[in-house]
Amino acid sequence: MRRLTRYVALLAVGGLLLVACEADEPEDVVDPDEVEEPDEVEEPEEEPEEEPEEAEEPDDVPWAGYEGGEDGVLRVAYVYVGPVGDAGWTYSHDQGRQALEEAMGDQVETTYLESVEEGAPAERVFEDLAREGYHLIFGTSFGFMDSMAAVAPDFPETVFEHASGYTKLDNMGNYFGAMEEPRYLSGMAAASVSETGQLGYVAAFPIPEVIRGINAFALGAQEVDPDATVEVVWTSTWFGPEIELEAAESLLDRGVDVLAQHQDTPAPGQAAEERDAHWVGYHSDMSEFAADAWLTAPVWDWTDYYVETAEMVWDGTWEPREVYASMADGMVQLADYGPAVDDDTQAMVDDRAQDIIDGTFAPFTGPLYDQDGELRVEEDVEMTLEELLNMEWFVEGVIGEPGE
Amino acid sequence: MLGLERRSDVPAWIYVAVPVIAVLLALAVGAVFLVFTGHDPLTVYRVMIQASFASTFGFADTLVSATPLILTGLAALVSFRVKLWNIGAEGQLYIGAVCASGIALLIGESLPGWANILMMLAAGAFGGMLFILIPAIARAWLRTNEIITTLLLNSVALLFINWLIFGSRSFWRDPAAGQFPQGLRIPDEAYFPRWGATRVHLGLVIALLAVVAIWFVLNRTRFGFRMKILGDSESAARYAGVPVRLMVVAVLLLSGALAGLAGAADVGGFSRRLDPNSLAIGMGYAGIIVAALSRLNPGSVILVAIMLGGVRNAGTALQSLPERVPMEIAVMLEGAILLFALGSEVLVRYRIHWPWSKGPALDASPEEAEAT
């Protein structure tokens, strides 16, 4: 959206210049015309019914269910926050969409809207899709949550599914994945490859999700090298290749030799490649962008969830869920290794992955100390999901502030 | 020789014909672009009109988008009328939103809704005025270039609202939104009433009232008369005893207040919280375009704002076409319309002197032409 603002600003400056030039004419001041009384206000809407808007809590209309559609096709729409070509978050969801099409063939018809603004502007987008008759609508950014929740009660026959949020209504569920699991594994790989023990993290916003990822990465690294440190630089972007590149370079300047990241672009990898450093990507297999630097990445695979959800809607068995899926479920995974990760390391990390999948190991298990060396989690105690979702402190060995 | 000559009198039809032709030309240029990128321009335009103007809900959303543009358009108009260039409506809008949401949260449920809404509007206008106060004073007494000061303050305001929501535990931030920072919702009572099932809200009424009020001020008050004199010539104004410095400050404050109202309208009618994502979409900058296209006429601001609001809203609809026209085409069209509309302004005031036409050549003012 910043880009749009910039265009508009440019246009505006152009407009201004022209007005300014014109205004220099000694204008015979045209008498400002009579104000046309705007009849538009009265126009929209015949039925002034009390609209059931903004219901935070479930209203009394239960989800009515998919009734086969006129043509027997389940129509599924995806609303993305970024461009499908971002190689990251949105790309991963679009891969899931394509996989859904493949899996269900003629039963489904999918569409997507990309680069949709978050917040109130998205309300219109979701409402339009629902009105156009889409049966199942996925919104894949946190900032869509309230818009979806505002629209959902008006369309009880449409199923809304929101990624990364927490609102549940009669016809709206939410889903997300335990990315800290593969994060931890990627930290192990990073520390194994690092020569200096100094790892860097190009971080997005100081919020629990990102902090959790950094901590998981650091803990994984410390399993391999107890002295490993993780330096954090915040970019305040989810998708900002230039800033992310600069942040990556500043970390490399400080002697970091492996970078990890949270944003949607492969920019940190390109910075690492240039300096012969190494890189842990995120979201999707980004190895093609910096093949030599590439180690691995924690990645999303939404396929199973999307197929499963669409089938439930098709069968009429869908009901709102709150899903936090794990490596065992397959929603979060570790990407393929790059050439820099040797066989021993791969075997070690794979073993750990198996422990996680088997449920015999959880990354956030005590004893855990914070940056000040204070014991935060007692020995053998596992942090609860609730605690993880609200994590706002860095573990020992992380360099940086868990806030701006 | 080909050239321009000043029209001695401007026929009335030309005021209508020129903008219409400008829009058509812009669409034609857009069509060339679309054809070269492999899209069918007729389909694209049909979809755009369908999405933004031809359906009840589409048009309602166009009005929603037009609401802040009317107010920021007026903000630019007021200052441009006296040749003051307030480019900071963008920032004044943000600060207006900060004040409006702040007051709504402060009041909470302690006052009835209508009182809360009134306070929000007042706070919004106040915020906009506050944020232009320094540039206004600097312009009036130090002759500091207000283009630069207001423009730079836009970045300050943007960073400020981002800090309020993303960078700090401010009063505006929702303490419960642990996973992702967002503004705290204003109380239900403070929501602007909406029109039926659409999202058209009270802000539109406020914007239209503002148009009427500005028209009245410009044409029926001493203040408006002084603005006219000041706009024509500062030295004449001084000679006529107009308190120039106070006028400069007052006009800029009025401009800031209008932009601040747009911020309040976003908070109360649209976002219902301080939301940098939905604020920072260039509504303030677009106001400059609106003012320019309206030829600084308050009434025309409404029409231009609705047109631009529609063009902007059509962006997402284009993605529903099977061949996925990029939504940036909407921005491009906006630019092309502006360019042609402003370019064609020349034709309102001048006529083209073709090489083969008779009579006195260019640049001669009508009087001189008669003299020769």
Question: Which residue in chain B has the smallest CA separation from A129?
Answer: B320
* A254 pLDDT above the threshold of 90: yes
What pLDDT was estimated at residue A65?
A: 55
* A1 pLDDT above the threshold of 70: no
Give the distance from residue A116's alpha carbon to the nearest chain B alpha carbon, in angstroms. 8
Q: Please, which pLDDT band fits residue B178 given cuts at 50, 70 and 90?
A: low
> Are A13 and B83 in contact (CB < 8 Å)?
no
What pLDDT was estimated at residue B349?
A: 74
| Boundary-marking domain end, from B275, B296, B318 | B318
Q: What is the mean pLDDT of residues A82-106?
A: 93
Domain A180-297+335-399 is found in CATH 3.40.50.2300: yes
Q: C-alpha B261: how far from its chain's center?
A: 12
Domain count, chain B: 2
> Are A41 and B204 in contact (CB < 8 Å)?
yes
Considering the domain architecture, whether residues B32 and B78 belong to the same structural domain is answered as: no
A385 — contact with chain B (CB < 8 Å)?
no
Q: Residues A115-138: pLDDT tens digits?
A: 898 888 899 999 999 998 999 999
Q: Residues B212-229: pLDDT tens digits?
A: 999 999 999 999 999 999
| Boundary-marking domain end, from B318, B333, B359 | B318
Considering the domain architecture, whether residues B351 and B299 belong to the same structural domain is answered as: no
What pLDDT was estimated at residue A250?
A: 96
Q: Give the Cα separation of A161 and A169 in Å (integer).
A: 10
3-class SS of residue B283: helix
Question: Which residue in chain A has the smallest CA separation from B338?
Answer: A15
> Are B289 and A11 in contact (CB < 8 Å)?
yes
What pLDDT was estimated at residue A45?
A: 41
Considering the domain architecture, whether residues B91 and B172 belong to the same structural domain is answered as: yes
* A44 pLDDT above the threshold of 60: no
Best of B235, B316, B347 to mutate (most A CBs within 10 Å, chain A): B316
Q: Residues A266-286: pLDDT tens digits?
A: 999 999 999 999 999 999 999
Q: Where in chain A is the domain with CATH 3.40.50.2300?
A: 74-177+302-325, 180-297+335-399
A7 — contact with chain B (CB < 8 Å)?
yes
Residues of A in contact with B296 (CB under 8 A): 19, 32
* A378 pLDDT above the threshold of 50: yes
Q: Please, which pLDDT band fits residue A87 given cuts at 50, 70 and 90?
A: confident
The reply to whether B56 falls in a domain is no
Residues of B in contact with A29 (CB under 8 A): 228, 231-232
Considering the domain architecture, whether residues B266 and B357 belong to the same structural domain is answered as: no
pTM score of the predicted model: 0.82
Q: Residues B5-54: pLDDT tens digits?
A: 777 777 777 767 776 787 888 889 889 988 988 888 898 889 889 889 99
Give the distance from residue A2's alpha carbon to the nearest chain B alpha carbon, in angstroms. 7
The reply to whether B55 falls in a domain is no
Considering the domain architecture, whether residues B141 and B261 belong to the same structural domain is answered as: yes
CATH number (3.30.930.10, 3.40.50.2300, 3.40.50.300, 1.10.3720.10) of A74-177+302-325 reads: 3.40.50.2300
Least confident of A388-397, B11-20, B285-294, B302-311: B11-20
Give the distance from residue A380's alpha carbon to the nearest chain B alpha carbon, in angstroms. 26
Check residues B17 and B358 and name the one with the higher pLDDT: B17
* Minimum-distance CB partner of A47 among B166, B196, B211: B196
Considering the domain architecture, whether residues B147 and B272 belong to the same structural domain is answered as: yes
Instruction: Tell which A residues from 143 to 182 touch B, by Cβ distance under 8 Å.
Output: 143, 154, 164-166
Q: What is the mean pLDDT of residues B350-363?
A: 66
The reply to whether B92 falls in a domain is yes
Residues of A in contact with B295 (CB under 8 A): 30
> Are A9 and B291 in contact (CB < 8 Å)?
no
Q: Residues B105-141: pLDDT tens digits?
A: 999 989 999 999 999 999 999 999 999 999 999 999 9
A–B CB contacts, 8 A cutoff, strictly below:
207
B197 — contact with chain A (CB < 8 Å)?
yes
What pLDDT was estimated at residue B6?
A: 77
Residues of A in contact with B56 (CB under 8 A): 43-45
What pLDDT was estimated at residue B147?
A: 95
Q: What is the DSSP string of A239-275?
A: S-HHHHHHHHHHHHHTT--EEEE-SSSSHHHHHHHHT
| Boundary-marking domain end, from B318, B337, B353 | B318
Give the distance from residue B167's alpha carbon to the nearest chain A alpha carbon, in angstroms. 6
How many CA within 13 A on the CB side of residue A91? Answer: 15
The reply to whether B141 falls in a domain is yes
Domain, as residue range, for B4: 1-39+325-372
How many CA within 13 A on the CB side of residue A271? Answer: 28
Considering the domain architecture, whether residues B224 and B358 belong to the same structural domain is answered as: no
Q: Give the Cα separation of A138 and A308 in Å (integer).
A: 13
Inter-helix orientation angle B113-142/B89-107, to 10°: 140
* A55 pLDDT above the threshold of 80: no
What pLDDT was estimated at residue A40?
A: 41
Q: Residues B252-297: pLDDT tens digits?
A: 999 999 999 999 999 999 999 999 988 988 899 999 988 988 888 9
Could you tell me the two tokens for B25?
A: 């030309």
Q: C-alpha B14: how far from its chain's center?
A: 24
Neighbouring CB atoms inside 10 A of B35's CB total: 11
Could you tell me the two tokens for A303?
A: 């396929």
ipTM > 0.90 for the complex: no
Query: Do B132 and B256 touch, CB atoms closer than 8 A?
Result: yes
The reply to whether B44 falls in a domain is no
Query: Do B304 and B294 touch, CB atoms closer than 8 A?
Result: yes
Size of chain A, expressed as the number of residues it contains:
404
Share of chain A above pLDDT 90, in %: 70
The reply to whether B136 falls in a domain is yes
Best of A22, A109, A131 to mutate (most B CBs within 10 Å, chain B): A22
Instruction: Tell which A residues from 45 to 104 touch B, by Cβ distance under 8 Å.
Output: 45, 47-49, 51, 53-54
Q: What is the mean pLDDT of residues A313-329?
A: 93
Q: What CATH number does the domain containing B189 carry?
A: 1.10.3470
Instruction: Tell which A residues from 270 to 289 touch B, by Cβ distance under 8 Å.
Output: none
Whole-number Cα distances in Å, B334 to A172, B36, B241, B248, B300 = 36, 19, 42, 31, 17
Considering the domain architecture, whether residues B132 and B178 belong to the same structural domain is answered as: yes
Residues of B in contact with A20 (CB under 8 A): 83, 85
Residues of B in contact with A13 (CB under 8 A): 87, 288
Considering the domain architecture, whether residues B238 and B351 belong to the same structural domain is answered as: no
The reply to whether B225 falls in a domain is yes
Could you tell me the two tokens for B292?
A: 């320019």
Considering the domain architecture, whether residues B72 and B211 belong to the same structural domain is answered as: yes
Whole-number Cα distances in Å, A192 to A223, A232, A255, A335 = 10, 19, 16, 16
Considering the domain architecture, whether residues B3 and B90 belong to the same structural domain is answered as: no
